[in-house]
Amino acid sequence: MCQLPFALLMTAVVAASPAAWPGMLASGQCHYAIGLHALLLAACVLVPWRRFGPSAPLLIPVLDFALVGLALDSGVAGLPDLGVLSVLPVVWISASRLSAVACLSLSFFGPLLAGLLPWFLMNRAERPLTGLAEALLLSLMMLAVSMAMRLARFRLRHEQGRIQSKESELQVLLAASRERERLLHTILDTVDVGIVAVDAAGRRLLTNSWQSALEDTATAVRRPGRPEDEAEPVLTGQDRATPLPAERSPIRRALSGEAFADYLVCFGEAAEGRVVSTGARPLKDEAGEFRGAVVVFNEVTDLVDALAAKDDVVSTVSHEFRTPLTSIIGNLDLVLSDNEGLACPAVRRVEVAQRNAERLLALVSDLLMSASSAVHVHPRRTDLAGLVEASLGSAQAHAQASSISLAMDVPGPLWAHVDPLRIGQALDNLVSNAIKYSPAGGSVRVSATSGDGRVRLHVEDTGMGMTAADALRVFTRFFRSQAVREGSIPGAGLGLSITKAIVERHGGSISCRTQPGQGSIFTLELPADGPPEAF
């Protein structure tokens, strides 16, 4: 194939000679050139060059130089300088596997001999020096072509080496990546939590075996526009009965870009359902654009069942305590209402017994409410200023006994859409705690602000305050800080958790700002409402 371009050019010259150069075919040198060309072409086709080694075919381009020399000696006027045909064998030789010295030598001396052949065939007296110069110039040009080819080939080999080196590095990285991927999948299939990774369009990128087994326990449903192999399991709420809306499923929440934790859902229905605690974190690129999310599912069925059993026990025991306590308090009230004939020490002992019985009844009531699965509220238009005033009035005796001053900064009327009984209970809890945890000579202040359709009540004290870590857990049931326990301050750690449940049942929120030794500020945020029409 390397001889084909040269053969085509020679054939074109011979074919054009009758019309363009009529005397060319009459030249003896031309006949020799045509014959040699035919022999070389036949040798290319018939000779098994592979048997003679990789350098054997290079005999063809070397003989091509002789063919060019014969063509140059045709002596036809007007014939273009056929010396340029030497470039084709030069290219062939330069592209071979010969050493650089051999290639450059053949590329120089081959065209030089081809150019000098007509010069040597002339009579010595007719040899012009220009012929020698032309032959030398032609050989130098072919040498330059060969050098350019060798340099290009060197650069190409260098680039190929770099590419092969990069490819080897990529293969190593690919092997390491596959090994890490296998390790990751092994780890994900070993842990006893479910993991799901999705892209921004909701297509699943990864689901470990634990999650697949979990989803098999729930009936799957295919959402419109989703493929059948990406059907979503039907989920229920924590009660294991109420179907969870599709937009509230953990994966749907994660696809909206939401980050959450400890979100309880149930796979399956009735007692056989499996309760899981879910959490999600969004995946973002360097520009901060949402690219997907990772959702984690951790089964907490046993924990939820244990908590439910504990609440049942607490509720049952509290009910059993409440009846005799009510009877005890009632009888003590009767004794105190008709204390004639009782000595003063006996009256004081009865009063102590009454106070402790009432305290125990309040604790039992808190236990009953904390064990209740839901807080029932009946909201209506309510003047919060009146509730605050009533709460502070009820706490006045407690505050005076503790040398605590009470203050109110709530403009009235201040309307909100709340259950007055429950919000009054929440205020009583906050004011009672503020008095309990404030030293003698301290103060408790209740203020209010409103705006954006919300009303905010602030209960501020000058008490002992809390650390940041304690403030994060202050609304947890039965939580009491280390400082409170060491100070022997009475309490069960239920008041704030009950208050939080009441406020959230109204669609509001509660927050705490505090610093150790500088007091605390608890803020209730509730939905506002306009005053009654008859006001």
Residue predicted with more confidence, 337 or 488: 337
Q: Are residues 206 and 93 in the same domain?
A: no
Contact 251, 232 (CB under 8 A): yes
Q: What is the mean pLDDT of residues 333-356?
A: 71
The residue with tokens 């409402």 is 529
pLDDT in tens, 292-314: 999 999 988 888 777 777 667 66
Query: Measured over all CA atoms, what is the biggest interatomic distance in the chain, rounded to whole angstroms?
Result: 169
- What confidence score (pLDDT) does residue 317 get? 65
Could you tell me if 329 and 441 lie in one domain?
no
Torsion of CA 13, 14, 16, 17, to 10 degrees: 110
Q: In terms of domains, do 244 and 207 share one?
A: yes
Q: Is the pLDDT of residue 534 over 50?
A: no
The predicted pLDDT at position 292 comes to 92
pTM of this prediction exceeds 0.85: no
Which of residues 271, 299, 327 is at a domain's end? 299
Q: In the predicted model, is pLDDT for residue 78 greater than 50? A: no
Q: What pLDDT, on a 0 to 100 scale, did the predictor assign at position 174?
A: 92
Residue 77: which pLDDT band, with cuts at 50, 70 and 90?
A: very low
User: What sign for the dihedral angle of Cα 38, 40, 89, 104?
Assistant: negative
What average pLDDT does range 427-443 have in this prediction?
Answer: 87
**Range with top average pLDDT, 159-168, 226-235, 312-321:** 159-168
Q: How much is the average pLDDT of 48-76? A: 71
Residue with tokens 């993991």: 195
Could you tell me which residues come within 8 angstroms of residue 379 by beta carbon, excluding any fewer than 6 positions away?
417, 418, 419, 506
- Is 51 a domain residue? yes
CATH number at residue 402: 3.30.565.10
Over 50: is that where the pLDDT of 224 sits?
no
Among 81-85, 139-143, 155-159, the range scoring the smallest mean pLDDT is: 81-85
Do β-strands 260-267 and 235-236 pair in parallel, antiparallel, or remain unpaired?
antiparallel
User: Is the pLDDT reported for residue 382 higher than 90?
Assistant: no
What average pLDDT score do residues 470-482 get? 76
pLDDT at 490: 63
Relative orientation angle of helices 87-94 and 4-20, to the nearest 10 degrees: 180
What pLDDT is attached to residue 17? Answer: 65
Residue 297: the pLDDT is 92
Residue 280 has phi, psi (to 5 degrees) of -145, 150
**pLDDT at residue 532 above 50?**
no
> Is residue 532 included in any domain, yes or no?
no
Same domain, 199 and 335: no
Residue 531 is predicted with a pLDDT of 47
Gap between the Cα atoms of 50 and 70, Å rounded = 29
Q: For residue 53, how far is the Cα from the chain centroid?
A: 60
Q: Are residues 270 and 366 in the same domain?
A: no
Q: Which residue has the higher pLDDT, 247 or 120?
A: 247
Structural domain for 214, as ranges: 194-299
Encoded tokens for 467? 């650390």
Cis peptide before 413 (omega within 30 of 0): yes
Q: Is the pLDDT of residue 420 over 90?
A: no
What are 221's strand-pairing partners?
Answer: 232
Q: Tell me whether residue 183 is in a domain.
A: no
Is the pLDDT at 533 greater than 60? The verdict is: no
Q: Of 44-48, 78-82, 326-330, 522-526, which has the strongest mean pLDDT?
A: 522-526
| Structural contact between residues 458 and 448, judged by C-beta atoms closer than 8 angstroms | yes
Asked if residue 172 belongs to a domain, the reply is no
Phi, psi (degrees; rounded to nearest 5) at 127: -75, 110
Strands 220-221 and 204-207 come out as unpaired
Nearest to 109 by CA among 85, 139, 88: 139
Is residue 114 over pLDDT 90? Answer: no
Residue 290 predicted with pLDDT over 80:
yes
Taking residues 378-393, report their average pLDDT: 87
The answer to whether 466 touches 516, Cβ cutoff 8 Å, is yes
In a domain, 166, yes or no: no
Look at residues 29, 31, 57, 30 and name the one whose alpha carbon lies nearest to residue 43: 57
- Read out DSSP for 113-147? HHHHHHHHHS-GGG--HHHHHHHHHHHHHHHHHHH
Beta-carbon count within 10 A of 518 CB: 12
Asked if 363 and 399 sit in the same domain, the reply is no
- Say which range, 5-9, 249-253, 401-405, 456-460, has the weakest mean pLDDT: 5-9
Model confidence at 84: pLDDT above 90: no
Q: Look over the chain and give the mean of its residue pLDDT values, rounded to a whole number.
A: 78
CATH number of residue 250's parent domain: 3.30.450.20
**pLDDT for residue 501:** 85
